[in-house]
Amino acid sequence: MTDTAALVASLLERVQVLEDKAAIQEVLSAYGPAVDAGDADAVGELWAEDAVYDIDIRVMEGRDAITEMVRTRPHQDYINEGCGHLLDPVHIRVDGDTAVATCHSLLLRRNLDADSFRVWRVTANRFELARIDGSWKIKRRTARLLDGSDAARELLARASR
């Protein structure tokens, strides 16, 4: 192999990693808009078929359970009253066909008696993703309220591992 061919081979690998991070960024930044639109199908497409969404008070198993959550109460009540599901910049570690993404999430809800919103939940999030048939999908999301408990702290401490 010539020097140029070797450089091109290494560039291909480096560009693939950058594209993987951009693709994961695209999946995670699509979540908030889809869930606040109440678009259950768009939310569902972001998850693997056998995905698990583990929050403080319940565990949803499978894509259908997750889209059902979007379609029903209390989620629909939040939307109808006015809400925003936001993330902050995501820490992403890619390892071949899997990745871990760590960030905070905010659930903001409109105050019905005032011209403002309240910060209802501030949550620690760990997303485990996999490349499935060429597309990155969420395999597991673990979310723990930042209420001083060890669970949220331990989840955040695993960001770089």
Which H or E run includes 19? helix 3-37
Report the site for a second copy in 11-40 (rule: CB under 8 A). 11-12, 14-15, 18-19, 21-22, 25-26, 28-30, 32-34, 36-39
Query: Distance (Å, rounded) from C-alpha 136 to C-alpha 29?
Result: 13
- Residue 131 within binding range of a second copy, rule CB under 8 A: no
Give the x-and-dash track for 73-102 against a second copy (CB under 8 A).
------xxxxxx-xxxxxxx---------x
Cβ contacts of 81 within 8 Å, gap of 6 or more: 109, 110, 112
Q: Which stretch binds a second copy (CB under 8 A): 57-65, 66-74, 129-137, 150-158?
A: 150-158
Residue with smaller CB distance to a second copy, 50 or 120: 120
Comparing C-alpha atoms, which of 66, 57, 79, 78 is closest to residue 123?
57
Cβ contacts of 61 within 8 Å, gap of 6 or more: 50, 52
- Residue 50 within binding range of a second copy, rule CB under 8 A: no
Number of residues that bind a second copy (CB under 8 A): 65
Comparing C-alpha atoms, which of 79, 73, 92, 75 is closest to residue 29?
92
Strand ranges (E), the chain: 47-54, 59-61, 83-87, 91-95, 98-110, 117-132, 135-145
Residue with smaller CB distance to a second copy, 23 or 65: 23
- Positions that interact with a second copy (CB under 8 A): 2, 4-5, 7-8, 11-12, 14-15, 18-19, 21-22, 25-26, 28-30, 32-34, 36-39, 42, 79-84, 86-92, 102-104, 106, 108, 110, 115-122, 124, 145-148, 152-154, 156-157, 159-160
